[in-house]
Amino acid sequence: MSSDFEGYEQDFAVLTAEITSKIARVPRLPPDEKKQMVANVEKQLEEAKELLEQMDLEVREIPPQSRGMYSNRMRSYKQEMGKLETDFKRSRIAYSDEVRNELLGDDGNSSENQRAHLLDNTERLERSSRRLEAGYQIAVETEQIGQEMLENLSHDREKIQRARERLRETDANLGKSSRILTGMLRRGCSVKKQFHLSLAPKA
């Protein structure tokens, strides 16, 4: 299984390196080449997402005691994927503004303002998404803690029940022992009385 995961890792590393290089080249390309490059990057981003899904499935098959290291690596790869998508969005916004300016003959001033506004909105959406993910993670962890507490309470209840059963058994044994001792004492008193009567002088 680990060999499959490492194979996906290598493919992901190569693919993300290519995507990073292409995203950096987009603003400097002529319009026709830019359009083709944007389409190519979109396709490679989808391929990278599919690789992440395959890697995630492989991690789920790993025994829990050995899963921690791979889970940390997956978080790192997902963060890298998120950064690539953000960089690509910014590159596409710049590309779209440039194409529109060429068609309309715009001087670019209003374009810069709109682009800044779009980037600001994009960053806000990304921050909101991260907060939602963090909230979901907290909810999952809270649920796990609650489940563990319920399991511990169940175990404690079983221990208390077993202790009560042992106490009842002890009480029953003590009662039985008390009855035996009482009977022995009574028989002893009866024997002692008969002994004294046998020693008494006869009239």
> Residue 17 domain-assigned?
yes
Say which residue the tokens 């690509």 belong to: 88
Q: What is the pLDDT of residue 103?
A: 47
> Residue 140 domain-assigned?
no
> Residue 119 domain-assigned?
no
The per-residue b/e assignment along 142-154, b for 16 or more CB within 10 angstroms, e otherwise, is eeeeeeeeeeeee
- pLDDT > 90 fraction of the chain, expressed in percent and rounded: 28
CA atoms of 66 and 73, how far apart (whole Å): 13
Asked whether the predicted pLDDT for residue 25 surpasses 80, the reply is yes
Asked whether the predicted pLDDT for residue 101 surpasses 60, the reply is no
Asked whether the predicted pLDDT for residue 1 surpasses 80, the reply is no
> Residue 58 domain-assigned?
yes
> Residue 150 domain-assigned?
no
CATH code for the domain of 65: 1.20.58.400
For the chain, the domain total comes to 1
What range does the domain containing 33 cover? 1-101
Task: Write out 28-62 in H/E/C secondary structure.
Answer: HCCHHHHHHHHHHHHHHHHHHHHHHHHHHHHHHCC
> Residue 168 domain-assigned?
no
The per-residue b/e assignment along 74-91, b for 16 or more CB within 10 angstroms, e otherwise, is beebeebbeebbebbebb
pLDDT tens sequence across 140-180? 666 776 577 667 767 778 888 887 888 788 877 777 877 88
> Residue 136 domain-assigned?
no
- How high does pLDDT run on average in the chain? 78
> Residue 97 domain-assigned?
yes
Specify whether the CB–CB gap between 10 and 25 falls below 8 A: no
Degrees, nearest 5: CA angle 80-84-89: 150
Helical (H) or strand (E) element with 113:
helix 109-199
Q: What is the pLDDT of residue 47?
A: 95
